[in-house]
């Protein structure tokens, strides 16, 4: 027992207290406070392995075996010396208030969550648009950038239950609003709304539950950039991928607007106790970017499709999953004729940006669980391929970035000295680049082309992320716990440290 | 440590296992007998416990004896039961009752009042669910309104039953001062005393600082916090005769006067942060009197990128209601002391490395005392109540401008305060201009009201109200203080004026109203008829309205049909109607305006050799008294017809209304002919002067020119017409949701009601036409706007989860606006030769200069512009956690449906921005 | 054990199925033909280069086809501006420069694009050598534009009399294009301001290589704005009578005023300080009264705004192209839509600042490029293409001569140049 503890050495973890106990607890067990039972049974690491399958709202009763509610408040910060991507900045730092609840009553499950973040994104260089990972490559950007203040409001909930002879149904709604702004020139102000709606319907077959789910996302973002300084306004560009920009509208279009829709369906199978599980899903996401000053002219639009398949097998203390997925995105430049007044007639819509990617991965977890402790040991290995191209005669730029990523993580939760609950977690994730290439930049210079070279350089380095977390909780009557969490993050790039991060929070659970 | 633990564990197992009896039990939720998994079970005094499993079942091995079994589960009341364990196994069923976080049915919508006049009533619960930042957000619940983003950068004025001023593109343009009477004429009553803004004089020069000050615009709703309000009644129809000096409608606010736990509220949204804390305690020997106190702080950024432009509001209030019971009279005395401060400031960002200074700061600190004494004589029938209201408020308003003025070219600053010819001087280069408008408006209000019963025929009841009120408004501020040599802008046409010189405004009112309720057969007729007299007392005799009484007859009647059964539910029908005349007296600024200064340049000689010594500017100044002694009050004729129906818990009310006001207040330009002497400096040889040139030595010619100044007039017409409807349905059990449909069709015609002078901008051979000829046009200068909107509010209440959420679908089906057709041909023109009006005949139409007075309007301007359907979905949710915390969140326009549309062949695309926020409410 | 084989199979399955099918760029073949004007129909092409610029992506393809007036090229669909610069000869006569251009051509299918060519006409009169329209900044950062001026230059080798030369400003903006009815652009320039140099015909001679300074207000502006200039030595100024104290113009009696024929504004004529108009010189033989009576006209267009299309009218004068001596189109790259004059008068534009309200434009002007020296007389470039003939965004000549302030930080000019770039030998 001790050897395992010392072997881990650095491990400490966040545990979201668990509630309830496995089947037949003998009444003679010493002082079984429900707080301990909940902390042990509410195993998010185990559920995460089958995360893709359990995302289906009708299967939410199978995610956990106990109810749990957390209310946490604290501060979270990570800072990278070299930015993983120039469009998303050098890390974030924000205070947060988060509440999340998972309630099992009978065969129904009700979840709810509410979050408020208030803080900063550090030194974003190549984009003044929020959600760079969703709206690439069509950012509005300038050649200055800087820190961005950020407020995030999000809340949501889901309800799943069954009726009749084994029929299942479930529905969920989630809304996230983000507000970014900067108080020094150039001053963007972005307001983002992401609304997710999902519904599912299924049937129980013996211990297996099979469910068919449909989901939809409405995405909207409006941003406007203001220059106040007397010393001159920077020039605003509308990027079109791989360091290129829409020259005709460079310098104009200070306020733009993104709106998009994402539809998808999935079919998921999950066993109540042990057996095979799996899912297959297809999603299609389209969005366009409009320039408000030119009568909301749609200058760019993109179409994105995702295939994801997961197959796995689980028992009470082992879970293994195999996933693979394919994504394709095609971006279009809308070409306009000669304007008359404010009217720009559209004459063509040319596909010029292409993203082709797929990934395949194997992940597993072994856990040993007693009445007063739980130990999780997990690992994963993935292979991913991604190709980005911008092709518009005479320009033909292509960037390929394949990588193998692998990692292990260990979580230990145990009740010690009667009224206390300790949790330790350690995780190490390594990424080592495979075949990478960047072509078509011969003789090209410019701020955004340099940013592309910097992003490519980061992708060609091997990098890692080491995480260590420690948590201590005081057990209170009626199954409540109150505790502190402290965690440290160490990002590594090409061998040496690439920044730091920590998190400190107080958590009240019941 | 570990060894001791293992030891006690084994001892316990050993003793029990030998001869224990097995207790099995199940824990159920009392409301629907559903099992409660993972419920904590404890046995005292043994101090051992267990859990129920997924099916709510638990098992215990106990030695025979008497124990107490305790079950506890979050959100449910703790359960205790004494059990006697014998030798044979036992079976227990435990039913747990949910804790009191169960929300009783909450009314989250505005309620249509059942009384004779059409009004909307909003209670505490509806306000809490709406999560408002200021009073403005409550208007979303009025029929015909939809939710708007908060606009903290300008004055928020109320508008009832009208579309508001729309621009050509159908967007709301709020700062057209010609139609301020809509908000000026809405009376705000707080705990029986009106908020008086008649003595407010804050302005920059003569303009209301582009919408940032509330000069002549009534109450600024940004300054009204909603956290200490118990209920609000917004009277859209004809108010009772008891209330006077109003033209459109009335807002009656009653504030909380009851014992309440400590309540605290923290709200954050995209624009602002709000904090509030309040407490209500019972005081006095018999614990019947209440004392409420609360403070509120609100800070909002107009644009988060600019942290130097914000609006702050600080409110503090102490309120008490005292009660005495004696044998023949019950006395209730409500007193309150309030302090409200709003600070509205904007400064240019110091991010600039230059010394550009541009600061605007306008703060308003108001302290007020209100008292309402009510004597209730139970024994006397003819005098049931005697109410005496008194309130006094004093405000300290400071509007400061600190501006670095850099004229684009050399401009001339006229700096005398007397008429006649004098020398001005060039403003050369930049200077710092400081401007202060310091107002100290004081308003005192007194009211006496007697009410009682009048004996009437069998079965009928009559009730009368009789009384009088008096409002005094006086401004004691130092007024506008600035250095004439350093005006805020080159074109300065006013002079510093002390507000304390302005005489007080006294509005006297008296009213009599009779309320009759009489059964006619099975129906009942309720009539409320009365008259309100309003007069300005102590005004200079030259004013037409000095001492002239204005009678406002107001009648509201409701005919209720007998109740009848419709299917399984009881149904009632009623028809109501009303007619009323409302009079609004002009404010102090309209009655006692600033003098109008006109400066005409006679000599403009700039000596290039040494400009500071030898240049000379000669100006002729005229001073006009801009007071309009013929100004009349604004009178609004309103009538409405309402049909109400009630079937079980479903209520429907449909109201048709029509209003006409022909004499709203507005400032319009008055042209006149002014003589002056134009000197010709071209004869001066440069460099030959030792000092400024003498006027006598220069050739000149006497000529005359047309100039204008502003004067308050009864020049605005507002015609309102529309249908409002509200439908409240019963809650539909399976989905626990009630639907409320409110909506309205409004048609509002804004135009002027008098002929207007309008200058033209043409220049012919270097001479501008408007210096010599100005046309008088019989113009309509207005718009007809129509809009039709319906709001569907689904309010879903899940008491067991402590969750209330409302999904509101707001549909603006269409907005139409059309400019009234104009005839570009003037009826007459004013000439500068004789200053007289001449008819504009065909000869004038061909005159080389006068032909430019023919204004050309292309017909496209008068087409109707239509904005098609716009749908918005708003979501508001409130979750109660435990007994002391409530987390709420709201998103307006979470989904919108704004189809593109083509207008005149142009494709118009639209989008909207969501407005979101979260809130924590603590009740400890 | 049997599971392992299943796992390996599942693991490798995706490797086979995915290939990166990235489509090739779509392209269209077009043929470009230059149409010669009649007087050059016989000429044979010497050197000829075609510049094909994609307005959306900003990429330009340059191809040379010496000896031919046509070319074929494949481009991606879009909006193009195509220009042709070449020389042509006719049996031994000196080479003639040929230019042709067409702007905003939509190419979405294989077509033939014809380029109307024109020869640059040599005018024998004064030309504009500098326009200082941006004005200066005061120490507080506020703009000050009383110190705008023109410089006219005698680029010929003989004396030219400036008497009666008319300076005009275009009615339309280069950043706002509408369907103007009537569209007279290929026969006349629509103007909204006309100021003529006085004199009876022989009063104001300009020697070859000399220039005239025409200022808005010919005073020493430094008393009002220390960052400004002393223009009291100007040759002419334009003065507008105004009676409203808010806008006063100052007349320096020592400097002769231009004869004001017409101006659209009620108060004072200021040059457009962001440079969205065209300014030029013209000789109007029929004189002021005849011209003013005959050439006033109203142009209608539809201002299509979000609120819908509103029929609008503008009033101005039409100035026949053959009366125009020289014209310079001003615009900015981010908002440029069209030239307000016929390409034969000016087929390019010059600028100060690249974006709208560019605050770095102050203290700068546009100056005509130095071409060659004829003895000690400087010859400036004049190919009727302001884009090629002018140096954009350079320090004004008066600021260089007076060593006055060149930007808001207070730095002063140190070198003196001929055209803003090439230094002048002392």
Pairing, β A373-392 against β A346-369: antiparallel
CA distance B921 to chain C (A): 44
Alpha carbon of residue B649 to chain centroid: 32
Its sign, for the CA torsion B227, B231, B236, B240, is negative
Q: Which residues of B touch A69 (CB under 8 A)?
A: 74
pLDDT tens figures, C194-235: 899 988 888 899 998 899 999 998 888 888 888 898 998 999
- Among A55, A56, A53, A19, which Cα is nearest to A38's? A19
Q: Which residues of C touch B412 (CB under 8 A)?
A: 245, 248
- A4 interfaces chain B, CB cutoff of 8 Å: no
pLDDT digits 0-9 by tens, A198-244: 999 999 999 999 999 999 999 999 999 988 776 667 789 999 999 99
DSSP code of residue B98: B
Distance (Å, whole) CA B38 – CA A36: 12
Per-residue confidence band for B15, with pLDDT thresholds at 50, 70 and 90: very low
Mean pLDDT, residues B444-463 taken together: 88
Looking at the DSSP bridge assignments, the partners of residue B750 are B718, B783
What sign results for the dihedral spanned by CA atoms C354, C357, C360, C361?
positive
In this prediction, residue A386 carries a pLDDT of 94
For residue B521, pLDDT over 60 is answered with: yes
C190 prior amide bond cis, ω within 30: no
Q: Across all residues in chain A, what is the average pLDDT?
A: 88
- Do strands B550-560 and B523-537 pair parallel, antiparallel, or not at all (unpaired)? antiparallel
From-to residues of CATH 2.60.40.2100 in chain C = 28-119
What's CA A383's distance to the chain center, in Å? Answer: 19
Mean pLDDT (whole number) for A112-139: 93
The residue with greater pLDDT, A407 or B884, is: A407
What residues of chain C lie within 8 A of the CB of A437, using their CB?
none
Strand extents, DSSP E, A17-90: 68-80
User: What pLDDT is attached to residue C14?
Assistant: 52
Contact A392 C22 (CB under 8 A): no
Distance CA A496, CA B143 (A): 65
Question: For A68-81, what is the mean pLDDT?
Answer: 94
DSSP string, A72-122: EEEEEEEEESS-SBTTTBSEEEEEEEEEEEEEEETTEEEEEEEEEEEEEEE
DSSP state of B769: G
pLDDT digits (tens, 9 = 90+) for C277-328: 999 999 988 888 888 888 888 888 877 665 556 677 888 889 998 889 899 9
Q: Which of B352-361, B867-876, C25-34 comes out lowest in average pLDDT?
A: B352-361
Distance (Å, rounded) from C-alpha B571 to C-alpha B563? 6
The whole-number pLDDT of residue A462 equals 93
What DSSP character marks residue C74?
E
A28 has a pLDDT exceeding 50: no
Answer for the pair C293, C317: CB distance below 8 angstroms, yes or no.
Answer: no
Of B4, B28, B38, which to mutate for an interface test with A (greatest number of A Cβ within 10 Å)?
Answer: B38
Per DSSP, the residues of B190-237 read ETTEE---TT----BTTB-TTTTS-TTS---GGG---TTEEEEEEE-S
Q: Are A303 and A329 in contact (CB under 8 A)?
A: yes
Q: Does residue A10 surpass a pLDDT of 50?
A: no
How far apart, in Å, are the Cα atoms of B774 and each of B763, B780, B857?
Answer: 13, 18, 18
Lowest mean pLDDT of B193-207, B370-384, B540-554, B746-760, name the range: B193-207
Residue B178 — left, alpha, or beta (φ > 0 → left; ψ -120 to 50 → alpha)? Answer: alpha
- How many CB atoms are closer than 10 A to CB C157? 11
Of the candidates B406, B490, B763, the beta carbon closest to that of C266 is on B763
- Dump the DSSP string for C235-266: SEE-------TTS-----TTSPBPEEEEES-S
Q: Judge if B2-96 and B111-235 fold alike in CATH terms.
A: no
pLDDT, mean of residues B166-181? 78
Domain ranges of chain A: 2-509
Give chain C positions within 8 Å (CB) of A229.
359
How long is chain A?
A: 510
Residue from A378, A470, A382 nearest A46 by CA: A378
Contact B604 C146 (CB under 8 A): no
What is d(CA B587, CA B185) in angstroms, rounded to the nearest whole number?
Answer: 11
pLDDT score of B28: 78
The minimal CB distance from B352 to the residues A189, A230, A478 is found for A230
pLDDT at B14: 44
CB atoms within 10 A of CB B79: 18
Chain C segment 190-229 residues within 8 A of B by beta carbon are 217, 219-220, 223-225
Of residues A464 and B173, more confidently modeled: A464
Q: How confident is the model at residue C244 (pLDDT cuts 50, 70, 90)?
A: low
Task: Give A78's contacts (C-beta < 8 A, 6+ positions apart).
Answer: A91, A92, A93, A489, A491, A499, A500, A501
Answer for the pair C28, C72: CB distance below 8 angstroms, yes or no.
Answer: no
- Going by C-alpha positions, the residue among B105, B103, B141 that lies closest to residue B121 is B141
Q: Does domain B2-96 have CATH number 1.10.357.10?
A: no
In chain B, where the domains are located: 2-96, 111-235, 250-610+628-923
What is residue A128's DSSP assignment?
S
Residue-level pLDDT at A450: 93
Q: Tell which residue, B420, B428, B419, has the closest CA to residue B485.
A: B428
CA distances from C152 to A414, C281, C346 (A): 91, 9, 17
Distance CA A121, CA A123 (A): 7
The residue count of chain B comes to 924
Give how far C164 is from chain A: nearest CA, Å. 37
Mutation for C interface: A244, A246, A251, A361, most C CBs within 10 A: A251
Round to whole Å and give the CA distance between C236 and C214.
Answer: 5
Dihedral over alpha carbons B343, B349, B354, B358 (to 10 degrees): -30
Nearest residue, CB atoms, A189 vs list B304, B889, B908: B304
- pLDDT tops 70 at residue A276: yes
Considering only CB atoms, which chain A residues are within 8 Å of B37?
20, 67, 104-106
**Which tens digit of pLDDT belongs to each residue from B843-862?**
888 887 888 888 877 777 78
The pLDDT > 90 percentage for chain B reads 30
Sign of torsion over alpha carbons B744, B747, B750, B754: negative
Best mutation target, A247, A344, A380, A434, to test chain C (most C CBs within 10 A): A247
Q: What angle do CA C69, C70, C71 make, to 5 degrees?
A: 140
- Are A508 and A71 within 8 A, CB to CB? yes
* pLDDT tens track for A81-106: 999 999 989 999 999 999 999 988 88
Q: Which residues 6+ apart lie within 8 Å of A410 measured at CB?
A: A8, A11, A375, A376, A377, A378, A425, A426, A427
CA distances from C220 to A126, B615, C407 (A): 47, 14, 18
Rounded distance, CA C392 to CA B205, Å?
Answer: 44
> What is the predicted pLDDT for the residue at A17?
32
Q: What's the pLDDT tens digit per position in B335-358?
A: 999 999 988 887 765 555 455 677
φ/ψ of residue B4, rounded to 5: -60, -40
Neighbours of chain C (3+ CB pairs under 8 A): A, B
Confidence at residue B414, expressed as pLDDT on a 0 to 100 scale: 67
- Whether the pLDDT of residue C137 is over 60: the answer is yes
Average pLDDT over residues A279-287: 97
- pLDDT surpasses 50 at C186: yes
Please count the other Cβ atoms lying within 10 Å of the Cβ belonging to residue B665. Answer: 28
Kindly state the average pLDDT of the residues A333-338.
88
| Best residue in C14, C358, C407 for a mutation probing chain A (most A CBs within 10 Å) | C14
At B880 the pLDDT is 84
Determine contact: B34 vs chain A, CB below 8 A: yes
Residue B18: what pLDDT?
A: 47
| CATH among 3.10.20.90, 1.10.260.40, 1.10.3720.10, 2.60.40.2100 for C28-119 | 2.60.40.2100
By mean pLDDT, which of B32-46, B208-222, B634-648, C248-262 is the weakest? B32-46
Write the CB contacts of B293 (distance below 8 Å, at least 6 apart in sequence).
B278, B279, B316, B317, B318, B319
CB contact under 8 A, B599 and C224: no
Q: What is the mean pLDDT of residues B591-609?
A: 81
Rounded distance between C-alpha atoms, residue C189 and residue C169, angstroms: 9
- The answer to whether the Cβ–Cβ distance between C79 and A338 falls below 8 Å is yes
CA-based max dimension of chain C? 112
Rounded Cα distance, C165 and C261, in Å: 12
| Greater pLDDT, C54 or B40 | C54
CATH 2.40.170.20 fits B250-610+628-923, yes or no: yes
Cβ of A31 and B908 within 8 Å? no
Of B355, B771, B865, the CB nearest to C307: B865
Contact between C189 and C327 (Cβ < 8 Å):
yes
pLDDT tens for B414-441 read 677 888 888 877 776 778 888 888 999 9
- For residues B904 and B865, give the distance between their C-alpha atoms in angstroms, rounded to a whole number: 9
Cβ atoms of residues A460 and A42 within 8 Å? no
To 10 degrees, the CA torsion angle through A127, A129, A130, A136? -70
Report chain B residues whose CB lies below 8 A from the CB of A218: 895
What secondary structure letter does DSSP report for A340?
A: B
pLDDT of residue C396: 92
Per-residue pLDDT tens digits for B883-907: 788 889 899 998 889 998 887 777 7
Cross-chain Cβ contact A232/C357 below 8 Å: no
Beta bridge partners of B337: B318, B369
Q: What are the tens digits of pLDDT across the range C145-161?
A: 788 999 999 988 889 99
Fold of B111-235: Ferric Hydroxamate Uptake Protein; Chain A, domain 1 (2.170.130)
| Mean pLDDT taken over chain B | 84
Contact B424, B621 (CB under 8 A): no
Give yes or no for B884 touching C (CB within 8 A). Answer: no
Q: Could you give the CA distance from residue A297 to residue A305 in angstroms, rounded to a whole number?
A: 25
Three-class SS state of A166: coil
C157 and C208 in contact (C-beta within 8 Å)?
A: yes
Pairing of strands C28-35, C112-119: parallel
CA distance A137 to B539: 71
pLDDT digits (tens, 9 = 90+) for C93-136: 777 777 888 888 888 888 898 888 776 666 788 999 999 999 88
885-904 of B, contacting C, C-beta below 8 A: 903-904
* Interval C327-362: pLDDT, tens: 999 998 888 888 898 888 888 899 998 888 787 888
Indicate the SS3 state at residue B239. Answer: coil
ipTM field: 0.77
Which residues numbered 181-240 in C keep a CB inside 8 Å of some CB on A?
A: none
Q: Do C143 and B408 touch (CB under 8 A)?
A: yes
- Measured in angstroms, the CA of A375 and the nearest CA of chain B are apart by 19
In three-state secondary structure terms, B159 is coil
DSSP B859: G
Q: Which of A264, A361, A260, A243 is nearest to A301 (CA)?
A: A260
């Amino acid at each position: 027992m001790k050897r395992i503890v010392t072997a881990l050495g650095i491990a400490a973890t966040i545990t979201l207290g668990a509630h309830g106990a496995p089947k037949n607890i003998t009444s003679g067990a010493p002082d079984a406070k429900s707080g301990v039972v909940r902390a042990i049974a509410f195993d998010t690491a185990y559920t995460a392995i089958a995360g893709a399958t359990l995302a289906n709202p009708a299967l939410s009763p199978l995610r956990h075996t106990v109810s749990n509610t957390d209310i946490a408040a604290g501060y979270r910060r990570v800072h990278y010396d070299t930015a993983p991507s120039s469009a998303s900045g050098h890390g974030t730092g924000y205070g947060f208030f988060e509440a999340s609840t998972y309630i099992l009553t009978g065969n129904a499950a009700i979840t709810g969550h509410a979050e408020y973040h208030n803080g900063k994104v550090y030194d974003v260089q190549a984009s003044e648009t929020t959600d760079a990972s969703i709206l690439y490559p069509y950012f509005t950007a300038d050649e200055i950038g800087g820190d961005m203040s950020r407020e995030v409001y999000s809340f949501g909930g889901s309800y799943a239950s069954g009726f009749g002879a084994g029929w299942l149904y479930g529905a969920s709604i989630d809304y996230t609003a983000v507000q970014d702004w900067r108080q020094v020139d150039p001053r963007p102000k972005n307001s983002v709304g992401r609304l997710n709606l999902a519904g599912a319907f299924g049937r129980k077959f013996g211990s297996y539950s099979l469910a068919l789910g449909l989901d939809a996302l409405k995405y909207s973002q409006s941003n406007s950039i203001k220059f106040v300084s007397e010393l001159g306004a920077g020039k605003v560009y509308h990027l079109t991928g791989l360091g290129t920009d829409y020259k005709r509208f460079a310098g104009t279009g200070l306020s733009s607007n993104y709106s998009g829709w994402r539809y998808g369906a999935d079919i998921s199978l999950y066993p109540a106790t042990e057996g095979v599980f799996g899912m297959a899903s297809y999603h299609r996401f389209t969005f366009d970017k409009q320039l408000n000053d030119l009568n909301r002219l749609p200058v760019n639009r993109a179409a994105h499709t995702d295939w994801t398949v997961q197959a796995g097998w689980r028992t009470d203390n082992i879970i293994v999953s195999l996933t693979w997925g394919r994504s394709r995105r095609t971006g279009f430049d809308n070409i306009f004729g000669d304007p008359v007044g404010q009217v720009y007639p559209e004459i063509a819509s040319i596909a010029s940006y292409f993203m082709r990617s797929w990934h395949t991965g194997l992940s597993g977890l072994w856990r040993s669980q007693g009445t007063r402790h739980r130990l999780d040991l997990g690992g994963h290995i993935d292979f991913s391929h991604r190709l980005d191209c911008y092709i518009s005669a005479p320009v033909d730029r292509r960037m390929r970035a394949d990588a193998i990523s692998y990692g292990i993580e260990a979580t230990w939760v145990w009740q010690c000295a009667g009224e206390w609950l300790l949790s330790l977690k350690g995780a190490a994730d390594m990424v080592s680049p495979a075949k990478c290439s960047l072509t078509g930049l011969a003789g090209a210079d410019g701020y955004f082309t340099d940013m592309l070279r910097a992003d490519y350089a980061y992708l060609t380095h091997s990098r890692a992320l080491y995480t260590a977390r420690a948590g201590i909780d005081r057990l209170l009557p009626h199954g409540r716990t109150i505790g502190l969490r402290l965690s440290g993050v160490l990002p590594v790039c090409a061998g040496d440290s690439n920044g730091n991060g920590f998190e400190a929070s107080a958590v009240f659970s019941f | 440590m570990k060894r001791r633990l293992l030891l006690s564990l084994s001892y316990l197992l050993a003793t029990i296992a030998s001869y224990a009896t097995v207790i099995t039990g199940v824990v159920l939720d009392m409301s629907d007998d559903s099992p409660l998994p993972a419920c904590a079970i404890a046995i005292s005094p043994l101090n051992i416990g267990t859990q129920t499993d997924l099916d709510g079942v638990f098992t215990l091995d106990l030695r025979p004896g008497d124990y107490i079994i305790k079950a506890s589960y979050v959100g449910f009341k703790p359960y205790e039961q004494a059990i006697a364990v014998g030798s044979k196994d036992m079976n227990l069923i435990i039913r747990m009752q949910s804790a009191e976080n169960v929300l009783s049915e909450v009314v989250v919508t505005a309620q249509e009042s059942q009384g004779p006049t059409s009004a909307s009533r909003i209670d505490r619960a509806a306000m809490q669910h709406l999560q408002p930042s200021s009073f403005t957000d409550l208007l979303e619940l009025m029929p015909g309104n939809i939710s708007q983003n908060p606009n903290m950068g300008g004055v928020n004025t109320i508008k009832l039953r009208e579309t508001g001023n729309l621009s050509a593109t159908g967007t709301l343009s709020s700062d057209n001062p010609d139609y301020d009477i809509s908000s000026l004429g809405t009376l705000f009553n707080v705990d029986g005393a009106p908020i008086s803004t008649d003595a407010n004089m804050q302005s920059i020069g003569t303009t209301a600082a582009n919408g940032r000050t509330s000069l002549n615009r009534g109450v600024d709703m940004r300054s009204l916090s909603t956290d200490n309000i118990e209920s609000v009644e917004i009277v859209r129809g004809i108010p009772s005769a008891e209330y006077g000096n109003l033209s459109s409608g009335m807002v009656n606010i009653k504030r909380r006067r009851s014992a309440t736990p400590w309540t605290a509220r923290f709200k954050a949204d995209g624009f602002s942060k709000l904090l509030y804390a309040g407490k209500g305690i019972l005081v006095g020997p018999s614990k019947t009197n209440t004392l409420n106190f609360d403070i509120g702080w609100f800070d909002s950024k107009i644009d988060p990128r600019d942290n130097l432009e914000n609006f702050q509001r600080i409110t503090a209030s102490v309120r008490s209601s005292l009660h005495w019971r004696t044998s023949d009279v019950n006395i209730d005395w409500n007193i309150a002391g309030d302090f409200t401060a709003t600070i509205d400031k904007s400064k240019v960002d110091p991010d600039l490395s230059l010394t550009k200074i541009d600061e605007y700061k306008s703060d308003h600190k108001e302290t007020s005392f209100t008292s309402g004494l009510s004597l209730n004589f139970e024994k006397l029938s003819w005098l049931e109540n005697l109410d005496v209201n008194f309130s006094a408020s004093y405000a300290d308003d400071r509007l400061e401008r600190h501006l670095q003025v850099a004229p684009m070219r050399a401009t001339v600053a006229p700096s005398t305060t007397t008429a006649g010819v004098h020398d001005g001087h060039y403003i050369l280069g930049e200077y710092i201009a400081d401007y202060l408008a310091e107002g100290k408006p004081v308003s005192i209000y007194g009211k006496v009201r007697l009410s009682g019963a009048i004996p009437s025929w069998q079965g009928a009841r009559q009730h009368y109200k009789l009384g009088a009120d008096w409002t005094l408004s006086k401004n004691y501020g130092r007024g506008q203080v600035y250095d004439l040599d350093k005006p805020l802008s080159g074109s300065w046409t006013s002079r510093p004026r002390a507000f304390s010189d302005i005489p007080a405004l006294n509005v006297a009112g008296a009213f009599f109203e009779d309320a009759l309720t009489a059964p006619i057969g099975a129906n009942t007729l309720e009539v409320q008829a009365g008259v309100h007299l309003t007069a300005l007392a102590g005004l200079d005799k030259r004013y037409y309205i000095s001492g002239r009484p204005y009678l406002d007859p107001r009648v509201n009647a409701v005919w209720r049909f007998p109740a009848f059964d419709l299917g399984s539910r009881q149904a009632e029908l009623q028809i109501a109607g009303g007619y009323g005349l409302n009079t609004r007296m002009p404010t102090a600024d309209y009655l006692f305006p600033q003098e109008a200064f006109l400066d005409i340049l006679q000599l403009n000689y700039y000596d290039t050799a040494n400009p500071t010594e030898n240049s000379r500017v000669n100006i002729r100044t005229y001073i006009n008294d801009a007071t309009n002694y013929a100004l009349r009050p604004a009178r609004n004729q309103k009538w409405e017809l309402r049909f109400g129906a009630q079937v079980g818990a479903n209520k429907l009310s449909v109201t048709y209304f029509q209003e006409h006001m022909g004499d709203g207040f507005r400032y319009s330009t008055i042209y006149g002919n002014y003589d002056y002497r134009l000197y010709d400096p071209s004869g001066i040889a440069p460099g030959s002067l030792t000092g400024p040139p003498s006027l006598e030595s220069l050739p000149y010619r006497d000529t005359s020119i047309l100039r204008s100044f502003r004067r308050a007039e009864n020049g605005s017409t507002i015609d309102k017409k529309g249908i409002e409807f509200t439908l409240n349905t019963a809650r539909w059990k399976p989905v626990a949701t009630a639907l409320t449909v409110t909506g309205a069709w409004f048609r509002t015609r804004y135009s002027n009601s008098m002929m207007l002078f309008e200058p033209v901008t043409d220049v012919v051979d270097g001479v501008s036409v408007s210096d010599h000829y100005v046309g008088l046009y019989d113009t309509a200068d207005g718009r007809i706007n129509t809009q039709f909107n319906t709001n569907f509010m689904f309010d879903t209440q899940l008491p067991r989860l402590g969750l209330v959420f409302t999904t509101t679908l707001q549909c603006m089906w269409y907005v139409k606006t059309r400019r009234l057709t104009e005839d570009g041909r003037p009826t007459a023109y004013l000439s500068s030769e004789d200053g007289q009006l001449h008819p504009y005949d065909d000869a004038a139409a061909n005159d080389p200069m006068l032909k430019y007075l023919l204004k050309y309007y292309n017909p496209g301007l008068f087409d109707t512009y239509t904005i098609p359907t716009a749908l918005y979905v708003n979501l508001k949710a409130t979750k109660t956690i435990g007994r002391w915390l409530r987390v709420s969140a709201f998103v307006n326009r979470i989904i919108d449906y704004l189809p593109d549309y083509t207008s005149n062949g142009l494709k118009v695309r639209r989008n909207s921005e969501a407005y979101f926020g979260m809130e924590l409410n603590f009740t400890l | 054990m049997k599971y392992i084989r299943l796992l390996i199979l599942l693991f490798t399955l995706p490797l086979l199925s995915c290939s990166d099918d990235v489509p090739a760029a779509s392209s269209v073949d077009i043929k470009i033909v230059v149409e010669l004007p009649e007087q050059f129909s016989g000429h044979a092409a010497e050197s000829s280069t075609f510049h094909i610029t994609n307005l959306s992506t900003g990429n330009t393809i340059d191809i040379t086809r010496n000896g031919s007036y046509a070319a074929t090229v494949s481009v991606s669909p879009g909006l193009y501006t195509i220009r042709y610069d070449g020389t042509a000869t006719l049996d031994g006569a000196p080479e003639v420069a040929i230019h042709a251009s067409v702007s905003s051509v939509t190419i979405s299918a294989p077509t033939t694009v014809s380029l109307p060519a024109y020869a640059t006409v040599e005018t024998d009169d004064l030309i504009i050598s500098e326009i200082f329209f941006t004005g200066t900044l005061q120490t507080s950062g506020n703009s000050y534009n009383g110190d705008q001026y023109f410089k006219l230059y005698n680029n010929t080798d003989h004396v030219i009399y400036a008497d009666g030369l008319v300076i005009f400003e275009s009615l339309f903006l280069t950043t706002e294009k509408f369907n103007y009815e009537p569209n007279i652009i290929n026969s006349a320039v629509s103007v909204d301001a006309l100021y003529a140099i006085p004199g009876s015909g022989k009063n104001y001679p300009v020697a070859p290589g000399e220039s005239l300074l025409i200022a808005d207000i010919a005073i020493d502006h430094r008393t009002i704005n220390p960052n400004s200039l002393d223009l009291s030595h100007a040759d002419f100024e334009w003065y507008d009578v105004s009676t409203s104290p808010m806008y006063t113009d100052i007349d320096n009696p020592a400097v002769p005023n231009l004869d004001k024929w017409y101006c659209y504004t009620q108060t004072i004529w200021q040059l457009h300080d962001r440079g969205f108009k065209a300014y030029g010189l013209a000789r109007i033989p029929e004189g002021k009264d005849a011209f003013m009576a005959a050439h006033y006209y109203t142009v209608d267009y539809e201002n299509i705004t979000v609120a819908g299309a509103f029929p609008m009218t503008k009033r101005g004068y039409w100035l026949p192209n053959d009366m125009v001596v020289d014209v310079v189109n001003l615009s900015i790259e981010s908002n440029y839509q069209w030239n307000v004059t016929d390409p034969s008068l000016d087929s390019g534009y010059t600028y100060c600042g690249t974006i709208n309200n560019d605050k770095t434009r102050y203290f700068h002007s546009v100056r005509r490029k130095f071409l060659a020296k004829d003895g000690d007389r400087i010859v400036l470039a004049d190919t009727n293409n302001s884009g090629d003939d002018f140096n954009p965004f350079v320090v004004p000549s008066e600021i260089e001569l007076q060593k006055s302030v060149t930007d808001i930080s207070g730095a002063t000019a140190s070198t003196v140049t001929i055209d803003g770039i090439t230094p002048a030998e002392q």
